[in-house]
Amino acid sequence: MKSSRWMAISGAAGLGFFLIANLTDFFTGLNVLAGCIQLALNAFVFLTWLRGFRKSRGFRKLIASFGVFVPPVMAIITLDRILIPAFF
């Protein structure tokens, strides 16, 4: 299934940037840059998994539902912990 590959790639990239944005402080400003990239990437993850959710059935639909609900939660956490404090 072609969308399964895109779902896996987008999910791994979204999780990677989420971890970089929220857990690193090696370089000044890296977490803010990663947070901005992560928000854009979360939109891609959400749309990719939503497409997979609409096409899937049964257990795959259950798994795809996590990919639809998790990116907005990750975006809210990044906004709250990283981006809002950095700009205000």
Beta strands in the chain (DSSP E): none
Residue pLDDT tens, the chain, 88 long = 577 888 888 888 888 888 877 777 665 667 788 888 888 988 988 998 899 889 888 998 888 898 899 989 988 988 898 888 888 8
* Angle in degrees, CA 79, 24, 84, rounded to 5: 20
Type of residue at 22: N
Q: Where are the alpha helices (DSSP H) in the chain?
A: 2-23, 30-55, 59-78, 84-87
Q: What pTM was computed for the model? A: 0.80
